[in-house]
Amino acid sequence: MPKFDDIQHEIRNLFDAIEDMEPEEVEAQLPALMQYADELATQEARKTDAICMAFRREESLVEHLKGEEARIRARRQAKERALEQFRTWIKDVFQRNGLQKIKGEISTLFLRKTETVEFTGNPQDLPQDLRTLKVDIAPDKKAIKEALIALREVPGARLVERYSVSMR
């Protein structure tokens, strides 16, 4: 099948040729010219249909892939929630039983204590050295944590102990 551009070029050539002919010559060759124009129109129609079919097939594939992305994202998120629930369960078992570490044959579970800043105050009330400048004023949690550890009073902030389960 000829290329779409080639068909369009040939149609223009046909009309240019007719324009350059004398009226008697056009009349004499009219049946052949009309037959060739019909052939070009048929090629153009088939090529248009082929292009549209290919485009629709690609659109359909894109829609299918979007659905797969959503399905896979939902599955990943469900797995992430299940893992977080499992970690919470393990942490609760450790805390209820006063455990810090359990060694297996190839793995180790241990309870790790971390401290994080819980900030409920207004970031504008913080001293300049305890905040970072963004589009909005936001607390600089690292600096606030250091200040709290140094027993500095920080309005609206406190250290909160958290536990997480780690595996090696």
Supply the range of the domain harboring residue 42: 4-77
Write down which residue in 20, 45, 77 finishes a domain: 77
**Three-state secondary structure call for residue 53:** helix
pTM of the complete model:
0.50
Domain assignment present for residue 84? The answer is no
Domain assignment present for residue 11? The answer is yes
Based on the fold, state whether residues 17 and 57 are members of the same structural domain. Answer: yes
Question: Scanning the structure block, which residue is given the tokens 């153009």?
Answer: 44
Based on the fold, state whether residues 11 and 73 are members of the same structural domain. Answer: yes
Q: Which residues contact 116 (CB under 8 A, 6 or more apart)?
A: 141, 145, 159, 160, 162
Based on the fold, state whether residues 12 and 71 are members of the same structural domain. Answer: yes
Domain assignment present for residue 123? The answer is yes
Write out the E strands in the chain. 101-103, 108-119, 131-133, 137-139, 157-167
Domain assignment present for residue 61? The answer is yes
Based on the fold, state whether residues 73 and 104 are members of the same structural domain. Answer: no
Domain assignment present for residue 73? The answer is yes
What are 25-53's pLDDT values in tens digits? Answer: 888 988 898 999 999 999 999 898 888 89
What are 106-164's pLDDT values in tens digits? Answer: 999 999 889 999 999 998 889 888 988 766 788 999 999 999 999 999 999 999 988 87
Structurally, how many domains does the chain consist of?
A: 2
Domain assignment present for residue 93? The answer is no
Identity at 130, one-letter amino acid code: L
Domain assignment present for residue 90? The answer is no
